[in-house]
Structures are given as C-alpha cells and as structure tokens.
Structure 1
C-alpha cells in the first residue's frame, strides 16, 4: 500500500520559493503548493512602482553578482543577458525558470499567509496546521464579479457591502453562502407606491412621531412592516436586536436570491479547513474557492501626529458633537467631518458639520468648555 503523500507549503514565489517548488517536484511522495501574496511571481525582483508593503527593488537596481554566479545550477541565463543583470532581466530569468520547469500551476497568486501555527500533535508528527487553500479578501478589495464565475463563494457579513457582494455574485457563481452571526433587518430602497424609503421616514411628522411614541412600539411597527415584505425569521436573517437597535441593511434583491437558492444563509464560521469551512451549526461547505470578508472597517488618525493626538478606541473617538476632538478642545481648530454612520445619506450631515465648524472657526461662535464637551461625550 503506497504511503500517504507529504503535503508541503512554500510561502513566496520569489528567488527562493521557485527553486523550492522545483526540487520538491522531484520527490513523488511530496504534494507541493506555493502561496504568493502578490499578483505575480518574482518576489522583490518584480519591480512594483506603487506604494506597497511587499519587498521590491528600485527601478534602477542592478544585481551585485554576475549572472554566472547568480544562476540556478540547472538553468543557465541566456547568452544575451548582461553579466550584471538589470532587475527586469533578473525577473525575466526567474519567470523563464518557472515556465521551463512548469512551476506556475503549483503557485496560487494573491494568496497571503498571515499565520503559521504548529498542529496539536506536532510533538509526535512534526506537522503544521493546514491552512485554507482558497483565496480570502476583504470587500474593500472586491471590484466586480469577474473571476468568480462557477465558483463556491462565502461572503462573511450582512452589512450593505456583504449583501451587495452576495447578490451580485449569485448571478455568476456556482453557489454563494452568506454568513451572518446576528442577522439584520433588511430594507428595500423603495417603499409603498415606489416612494424612496428614506424620504418616507425622514419627515417632520415621522421625527415628531418618533419622539412621542414609545420606542418599543416604534420597533414593533417597523418590524411588522419589514416582515410583511418577507419573514426575516424564515429567511434566516432575523436579528436579536430591534429594528432601530442597529444600522439597517439596504438591499432590494437579497430575499429573492435566498428564495431561489443562489444565496444560502449560514451562521458564524467555526473553523477553516484546507478546502472547506465549518459553521457554528455544525454544517460544512466543501470545496470553497473564495471568501470575501465584508466585516466592516477600522479607522485611525495617524496623519495627525502619528495617531497620538486623536486616539481611536474600538472605532470610537472622543469628539464633541462627533466633530470637535476633545484633545484639541483648547482651540477647536481641528474638526473631523463625516465621522458618523447615519440612517440615510451622510452628505447632508457632512454639510451641516462643515457649517457648524465654520461658525466656530471663522465667525467666532463660542463652543462649550472642555469640561462641558467631555460631559456631552460621556453621555452620548
């Protein structure tokens, strides 16, 4: 009975990773895979003109050793290449090496390794924990559906970005799974008789109504309206929080996609395996190709004195009226405009914040003292 193949992961497809793949292939009992973080092979010799955290040479870099002493033992450089190759020639040499030995089919581009951990039985077996082989990206890096055709895609997060990604990909992917731990209340863009939903609820009457009617009754009314469009519990989307208890999700097509089966709702992820994902309900999805993390964003103000002046703690900033940082309340010449997540459009609020700031900065309108601003922040 043949012995089980040894699985080998090589991190990086540069000048060291490529010969590692090449020589791993000489052993029939080894199954090799290479993860390369960037979108091409060559490592630092693949010149990157844009700002990046990846290693890269300068545009003018020339190797410091001769091509004869630089070359791999079984692949001499071309005669036409200079003795001291420019980085473009060096990169071409590496790509020719990969092509000559058929290495590219073992390389997964745009695959970043973020952690390497020993397996639980490492002391006995010497094995390392197997990492998920599919691609994982943040929704920030998702541009369009191209490249996702006929693939199994898991979208994590049921905010507006997650819902949009799931709906768009459900038209081309083999199957889309939408992961949500706490669910969400889903609004359509249009309300009764085709009225935009934000125009229906952002009226003086509705504002007055919300101030008079107790919050539990408002929530009950909202949830009743939303469940008349589709039953959130039946569709696996009903959250524990009330309709006004968290930011809503705006999506016109998601219920239809769930009803058609092109989007399937799953609870939180319990564990990643090599080619599959297990969820908190015990179910497992096999042969997952892509994971898109639509799990929100974090922000910082490192531009301002290296982030030491206006500090961010769990995406919260001490700022009076969400505009004036408490750290600069002595003069209030610094303002943060648009640092708010409203129910509706941010643009009119940004306009009003800018007008408030200019009243203070240019017109001399007096703002509360630091102590008064701090008290407002602690309450709100």
Structure 2
C-alpha cells in the first residue's frame, strides 16, 4: 500500500505531482536542490553547470490556454504567450493556491534512490538526500522522478573536427547563453536549428557583426499567431483536426501540412525545407524568415570541420573569421541518483510503459514524470501523467501485468539505439498521448455522450482547442469549473488584447452560432462513423 511518496524536482512536473498526491490522500515530500520552484523556467543571470534555466528573452511557444494546469486557468489578463517571469508567477500562484510549498524541501539534493532489500514484497525505496552538507536517509513507498528532459547539455564536439584542437575562437553550449550583449560586434556561428537555435540567431543578429546558422535537417518554420490572429496551437490542436489526421491517408495529410507551411513563405527558396523531405522538424519563430531575407542571418549546411578561425561546410563553402561558435544542440537526460540496476532500464522514454513506468520492476512504484516531448505543451502531459500515476499508487487505477507492459514497450520501440541529437525519440502527438493517458486514468471525455447531454459543450470540445480543462469533465478529479473554462476560453484569449477597443460592426457571436448550427450535423455524422469504427477497437473520441 503506497502512502509516502518522494517527488524529486519542483518544476512543473513536481508541482503537479505534489498536488495529485494530496488529492489522492498520499503524503508527498518533494526534494528540490535549488532554493525555489519553477525548474528551468526560473531564470537566473548566473550560469550554474548543475542547473539549466531559460535565457532572458524566452517566451513560451504554447499559449496559456493550452499550457495551464487543468483546474487552474491562467489569469485572463495574462498575455497569451508568457515571458518566463509571468509563467513563474503563475507557478507560484498555483503552489500557493493548493498549499504545495510546505511539502517541498528546498536546497536538498537527492543523492541516491535505491530499492530496499525487500523491494519485491514492499516496493519501497531508500532515498538519500543532502542538505547543507548533512545527509539523511528516508524510506518511501513510491518515487516520482520529475527532473524532466533538459538536464545535461548535449555537446557533440567529436562530430566537429578541429573545434577543440585548431579553432582559436570561443565555443559554448546554449545553456551558457543569457543575453546577446557579450556577442556584440562578433561573427557568430550557431550550430543547430531547433527552437533555441532559431531564437538565438534572431536575437544575436541585432548586435552581432554577422550570424551564420548551420542546419542539418529540413526545418519548417511556423508562427505562434494563426492567420486570423488567434494562437496557432488553439486553432490547430483540435479533436476535429486529430480525427481528420486519423481518417485521411498520411500522404495526403503530409501534403496538406506542407502546403500550409509554404503559404507563409516558400521554405525551399530559403534553403530551409523541401516538400520531398522525409525527415524534418518544425520550429516556431516569427522573425527568422525576415532575418534570412535581410541577410542578418545566413543559413548554412552542416559543418564539416573547423580551422583556426574558419568553418568549412559540407557543400564546400567556407566562412572566415568566426569569433564564436554557439552550439544549440539540445540536451540529454540522465538520472545519476537512481541505482545502476534501475537506471540501465531507461534507454529513452520508449523504454517506459506509456513513457512513465519501467515495466521490468517487480513493483510499479517508480514513475518518471515529464520525460516526453509533445506536439503541444509538455506541462499538460506531465500533469496528466501525475494524475494517472497517483491514481495507481492510491489503488484507483490498475496497471496490466508486466508481460503485457513489456509487449507494449517492445511494439512501440524499434530495435535501434537512441541518438541523443534526435529529439524525435521523445516527440509524440499531443492529443494522442494525453487521450491515451486520460483513458488509462478514466478521465477522458466522451464527445458522443456530451453530444446527447450537452450539445453546446460537445461542439466546443470537438471543434474547439483541446485545452486541458477537457480532462476535468469526468472521472476522479472532476472540476465543476471545467465547462465554463472551455466555453469561455476564446474570451480569455481576447481579454489581454482589449487595451484599446475599436468599433467592429461585424457580429462575431452571430457567426459563431451559425457555425455551431452547421457543425451539428457534421458532428452527428462523425458520431455515426465512430460508432461503426469503435466496433473495430479504436475511436479517437470515445471515453
């Protein structure tokens, strides 16, 4: 019987885990090695090799409605995309509101987490911690590891001949980057075109003499703002779009997606991506295309090698007088505090059942929270995992036998070793994954049932953004404010923009009502189709 739970880390996953433990009547103790909550979202000017934090200018890539905790909406006057300071303030509000801080031991490092000798029977763990040089040993019935996947910088210097032996300039990982001032007047090469590489290239272009951006893979660049001005994740991440992705051939959906990407600008003309690319990534950046167009950022292929002051690229070109090389090559995860026999079970998140549980353990009392990258907010995914896990610890949810969990893991994990530079190992569909975990936890909404009992809400759930509040409509943890939160999400989106009101003669509410009326027969037809397909064992909507 699980009662006492150790939570390691007080970032977003840790906070959600503490709250979920309390809701299930468990006794959580959170160990946070720094002096405050927030994890990587707590910005500091200093560089700490043991801690990763965001850079000064960072703003969230997912909107507040799509990123908030499922029973605690962001304040309506907060902007739709949050600077790190406001996001941290939101975390503080959440922690205060639910009384989480008293369960956190700050400046306490988890040094060792190991199975007790009677683990096969008890499932218990011994956790050794250190606070101000004093070590303590604790016994817990279960452990939730909430350290995320931004843990250790991935710096593949061996892939860049000459960087350590010949290059006379400075090189560093983006973890050390705080702002652009130190690069003023420099010629900078940024290696890696993920979200961080794109952001830093744009920011550096304002002060650097020249910025070169080296890209290895095809990259599609999208904006946070949709064509009609709403957050793009609220427009795209809907159950209706998810249903279409399932219904239509993958080749067709890929073609539609590429065409949509190119409607902003032709990516092939900029050397970013081709519609013929089989391997590609998507980044969010409003300014990068203009920087490329204006020449303040120059796109380059993969670096072949470095000389004393130059970078040679795979296409045979050379850029001279490089002062700084900034590696935006991502991070790798590690769990140095876990005993080796347990740590060896976690090659990547696909080694875990539902990306959470090591299936080989005799007792399922260790859960890895937040080791997942979604096409939407990881904060929502981490909270969903925590709700499911604590339900299992409390005895409400059940896991299948170990043999079935292993079979599920092997089915989803190809027999190849993880390449740390390819974060696609972690990235999966936002709606698919959250629905999968919600189904396991018994909290996934049924659109068909809602259509019969609350048609207005059903239409908002199916055609509107798949906001976290949808997972508070049914099951354990049901929240009475979920319905209003869903129906008013567009108003909260517009609220921070109403700082200057103009007269608009068009009647938006009337248009919305007409759209709902037209959508109703479509929803009924979808319901009929799904009732037939569900007999085959799959439905993206049924609870």
Q: Distance in 2 between matches of 1:314 and 1:279?
A: 32
Instruction: Name the residue aligned to 2:249.
Output: 214
Aligned with 1:156 (options 171, 191, 199): 191
Q: Distance in 2 between matches of 1:312 and 1:353?
A: 19
Instruction: Name the residue aligned to 1:332.
Output: 364
CA RMSD of aligned residues (A): 2.4
Is there any run of 5+ residues in structure 2 with no aligned partner, and where? 1-47, 51-156, 413-543
Q: Distance in 1 between matches of 2:247 and 2:398?
A: 32
Q: Residues 312, 151 of structure 1: CA spacing in aligned structure 2 closer, same or farther, 3 A cutoff?
A: farther
Provide the TM-score with structure 1 as the length reference.
0.63
| Deviation (angstroms), 1:349 | 0.8
Q: Distance in 2 between matches of 1:338 and 1:318?
A: 14
Structure 2 residue 320 is the aligned partner of structure 1 residue 286: yes
| Deviation (angstroms), 1:310 | 2.6
- Correspondence 1:335-350 to 2 at 5 A: 335-350=367-382
Secondary structure of 1:192 counterpart: coil
- Correspondence 1:1-380 to 2 at 5 A: 131-238=166-273, 247-305=281-339, 307-311=340-344, 315-328=348-361, 330-380=362-412
Q: Distance in 1 between matches of 2:391 and 2:277?
A: 37
2:345–2:358 Cα contact (<8 Å) kept: no
| Deviation (angstroms), 1:363 | 2.6
Higher Cα radius of gyration: 1
Secondary structure of 1:325 counterpart: coil
- Residue by residue, what CA displacement relative to the aligned partner does 1:326-371 show, whole Å, maximum 9, x if unpaired? 232x211110111111012111111110011011111342201111
1:158–1:183 Cα contact (<8 Å) kept: no
- Residue by residue, what CA displacement relative to the aligned partner does 1:145-169 show, whole Å, maximum 9, x if unpaired? 0110111000011100100110100
- Residue by residue, what CA displacement relative to the aligned partner does 1:72-104 show, whole Å, maximum 9, x if unpaired? xxxxxxxxxxxxxxxxxxxxxxxxxxxxxxxxx
Q: Distance in 1 between matches of 2:281 and 2:49?
A: 34
Instruction: Name the residue aligned to 1:12.
Output: none
Secondary structure of 2:190 counterpart: strand
- Residue by residue, what CA displacement relative to the aligned partner does 1:245-290 show, whole Å, maximum 9, x if unpaired? 6542111110010000000000000110001110001111111001
| Deviation (angstroms), 1:183 | 2.4
| Deviation (angstroms), 1:51 | 8.1
- Residue by residue, what CA displacement relative to the aligned partner does 1:106-128 show, whole Å, maximum 9, x if unpaired? xxxxxxxx89xxx9xxxxxxxxx
| Deviation (angstroms), 1:240 | 7.2
Secondary structure of 2:371 counterpart: coil
Q: Distance in 2 between matches of 1:176 and 1:278?
A: 15
2:349–2:355 Cα contact (<8 Å) kept: no
Instruction: Name the residue aligned to 1:36.
Output: none
Q: Distance in 2 between matches of 1:231 and 1:51?
A: 40
Q: Residues 315, 164 of structure 1: CA spacing in aligned structure 2 closer, same or farther, 3 A cutoff?
A: farther
* Segments of 4+ moved more than 4 angstroms: 239-243, 312-317
| Deviation (angstroms), 1:308 | 3.6
Instruction: Name the residue aligned to 1:38.
Output: none
2:201–2:297 Cα contact (<8 Å) kept: yes
1:154–1:176 Cα contact (<8 Å) kept: yes
Q: Distance in 2 between matches of 1:303 and 1:368?
A: 28
Most deviating of 153-162 and 318-327: 318-327
More helix by share: 2
- Residue by residue, what CA displacement relative to the aligned partner does 1:151-192 show, whole Å, maximum 9, x if unpaired? 100001110010011010011100000001112111111111
Is there any run of 5+ residues in structure 1 with no aligned partner, and where? 1-49, 53-113, 120-128
- Greater relative CO (CA pairs within 8 A, separation 6+): 2
- Residue by residue, what CA displacement relative to the aligned partner does 1:280-320 show, whole Å, maximum 9, x if unpaired? 01111111001111112111112111x44133776455100
